């Protein structure tokens, strides 16, 4: 989401006549886009800001700005800790950045704009796409779910969807530039609705765009997984068989305190429906450990659910109390050490399950959209399977060329928790 937002910021500034610098040392304007979801991210940002502020010592004309959710969330505290900032802009203020940068530095006051705007979708601004076979396209912004732990509804504001016509235009342009895969983005992307167009209808519209071969979306909310979404995934071949289904906890008591809006039984029934309709589906999740009130038994319930579902992968986090959220007032009953212990145990369990699930792929064949040379080098190429698993394979240079954007069939030879080693099938 933030990468996509940064691409929007880049497009706004380019329209105003700015060009991008290759190195941070050469830039006259440095903007740091930020996340507020956990406190840890904030500490990293302050550290980075102080590093960047050093560039101002030799070049005082450099303008340094803080963008995004952290700017929105605690501008007061940040301005105290980082008084050298010239610009502070929240997620709905990017359109005004050129004026803000023009004003910055007057009277040595920072230019601050953190107004949330129910109507701002940046629908008319085509983000500066970063190149490659995959592009991320924001389909909706904001969130109305207000999970008790989460700061997103406060820093990104209310749910709003981008008109299908703008999305179709943008994705059409991407296809013309060689993009083969789009990832539709939104905080609760499957809550997408514009007039009569719901999310499954949007998926089908995007699937009609020539040149786009694969469609993914991130991040859905379990409560908004409708039968029509499952049907679209099952029947539209371009929609890839991967569903990210954040569970957060495997304990009903904690889920209720988190105000997630589903029980473990409902969640498991949904997983069963999805698997019945889309047998090849990979399922991933997000889990928080150490939410206020989480007892050892609640934590064990989470590990039980992880085993029951058998996730392909998971993002796991220690609970971080966030100001403004409903859970802020509840407290933080689990110690940092205990959160750490639970997190390590969860990561180890997921690692085991990821390996097992990936090993089960050995001997099977998958179409892989080639992205480019593998990070490990050695002439290997990398791409994703439909399930969004990384496939690494050697290309036969004597045979027909395999380039980024091609789809090749590979057979899995061996697997680790994070990638599949394959040969061309
Ligand atoms: N503490 C820890 N993790 C959080 N997430 C959201 N808010 C918090 C928080 N306060 C996690 C959730 C969400 C993911 C994007 O970040 O698991 O799904
Ligand atoms: Fe946060 Fe819940 Fe909205 Fe996801 S659905 S962004 S966890 S409030």
User: What's the CA-to-centroid distance between 1 and ligand 1, angstroms?
Assistant: 14
Q: What is the pLDDT of residue 103?
A: 82
Long-range CB pairs of 340-345, under 8 A, 24+ apart, other chains included:
342/289, 342/290, 342/294, 342/299, 343/289, 343/290, 343/316, 343/317, 343/318, 345/303
**The pLDDT of residue 75:** 84
What's the mean per-residue pLDDT of the chain? 94
pLDDT over 70 for what percent of the chain? Answer: 97
CB 112 within 8 A of CB 67: no
Beta carbon of 188 within 6 Å of any ligand 2 atom: yes
> Which ligand 2 atom sits nearest the alpha carbon of residue 260?
2
**262: which residues sit within 8 A by CB, 6+ positions away?**
222, 223, 255, 270
Nearest alpha carbon, ligand 2 atom 5: 145
Which residues of the chain register pLDDT less than 50? none
Residues near ligand 1 with C-beta < 6 Å? 37-38, 149-150, 246, 248, 286, 288, 317, 319-320, 322
The predicted structure's pLDDT at residue 215: 98
In what helix (H) or strand (E) does residue 342 lie, and over which residues does it extend? helix 336-359
Interval between CA 150 and ligand 2 midpoint (Å): 6
d(CA 17, CA 13): 7
pLDDT in the model for residue 76: 85
Distance between Cα 14 and ligand 2 center (Å): 32
CA-150 nearest atom, ligand 1: 7
Q: Is the CB of 63 under 6 A from ligand 2?
A: no
**Residue 80: its pLDDT value, please?**
87
The count of C-alpha atoms lying within 13 angstroms of the C-alpha of 258, restricted to the half-sphere facing its C-beta, is: 26
The predicted pLDDT at position 267 comes to: 98
Distance 144 CA to ligand 2 centre (A): 8
| Ligand 2 in reach of 315 Cβ (< 6 A) | no
DSSP symbols for 104-134 = TTGGG--EEE----TT---TT-------SSE
pLDDT score at 219: 95
The pLDDT of residue 43: 82
Predicted pLDDT of residue 402 = 79
Is residue 378 within 8 Å of 395, Cβ to Cβ?
A: no
Specify the 3-state DSSP secondary structure of 285: strand
203 in Cβ contact with 215 (< 8 Å)? yes
CA 319 to centroid of ligand 1, rounded, Å: 7
* Ligand 1, atom 7: closest residue by C-alpha: 150
What ligand 1 atom has the least distance to the C-alpha of 315?
17
Which ligand number lies closest to the CA of residue 245? Answer: 1
Give 372 Cα–ligand 2 centroid separation in angstroms.
33
**Which ligand 1 atom is the nearest neighbour of the CA of 287?**
17
CB 157 within 8 A of CB 117: yes
Residue 187 Cβ contacting ligand 2 at under 6 Å: yes
pLDDT at 130: 85
With H, G, I as helix, E, B as strand and everything else as coil, classify residue 405: coil
Helix (H, G, I), strand (E, B) or coil at 367: strand
């Amino acid at each position: 989401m933030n990468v996509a937002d940064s691409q929007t910021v880049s497009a706004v500034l380019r329209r105003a006549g700015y060009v991008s610098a290759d190195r941070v040392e050469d830039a006259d304007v440095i903007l740091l886009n930020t996340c507020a979801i956990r406190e840890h991210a904030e500490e990293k940002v302050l550290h980075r800001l102080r590093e960047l502020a050093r560039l101002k010592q030799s070049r005082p004309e450099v303008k340094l700005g803080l963008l995004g959710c952290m700017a929105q969330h605690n501008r007061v505290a940040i301005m105290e800790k980082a008084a050298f900032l010239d610009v502070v802009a929240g997620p709905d203020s990017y359109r005004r950045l050129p004026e803000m940068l023009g004003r910055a530095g007057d009277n040595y006051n920072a230019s601050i704009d953190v107004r949330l705007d129910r109507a701002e979708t940046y629908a008319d601004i085509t983000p500066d796409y970063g190149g490659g076979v995959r592009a991320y396209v924001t389909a909706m912004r904001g969130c109305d779910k207000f999970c008790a732990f989460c700061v997103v509804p406060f820093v990104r504001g209310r749910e709003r969807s981008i008109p299908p016509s703008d999305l179709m235009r943008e994705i059409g342009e991407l296809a013309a530039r060689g993009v083969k895969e789009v990832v539709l983005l939104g905080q609760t992307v499957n809550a997408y609705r514009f007039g009569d167009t719901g999310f499954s209808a949007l998926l089908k519209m995007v699937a009609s765009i020539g040149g786009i071969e694969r469609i993914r979306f991130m991040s859905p909310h379990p409560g908004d997984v409708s039968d029509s979404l499952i049907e679209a995934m099952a029947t539209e071949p371009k929609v890839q068989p991967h569903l990210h289904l954040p569970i957060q906890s495997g304990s009903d008591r904690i889920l209720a305190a988190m105000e997630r809006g589903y029980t473990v039984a409902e969640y498991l029934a949904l997983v069963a429906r999805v698997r019945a309709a889309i047998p090849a589906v990979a399922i991933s999740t997000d889990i928080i450990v150490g939410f206020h009130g989480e007892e050892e038994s609640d934590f064990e319930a989470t590990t039980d659910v992880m085993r029951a579902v058998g996730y392909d992968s998971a993002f796991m986090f220690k609970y971080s109390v966030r100001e403004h959220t409903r859970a802020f007032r509840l407290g933080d009953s689990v110690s940092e050490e205990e959160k750490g212990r639970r997190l390590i145990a969860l990561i180890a369990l997921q690692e085991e399950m990821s390996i097992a699930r990936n090993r089960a792929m050995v001997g099977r064949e998958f179409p892989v959209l080639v992205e480019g040379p593998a990070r490990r080098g050695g002439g290997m190429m990398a791409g994703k399977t439909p399930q969004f698993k990384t496939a690494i394979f050697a290309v036969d240079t004597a045979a027909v060329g395999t380039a980024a954007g091609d789809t090749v069939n590979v057979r899995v030879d061996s697997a680790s928790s994070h990638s599949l080693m394959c040969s061309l099938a």
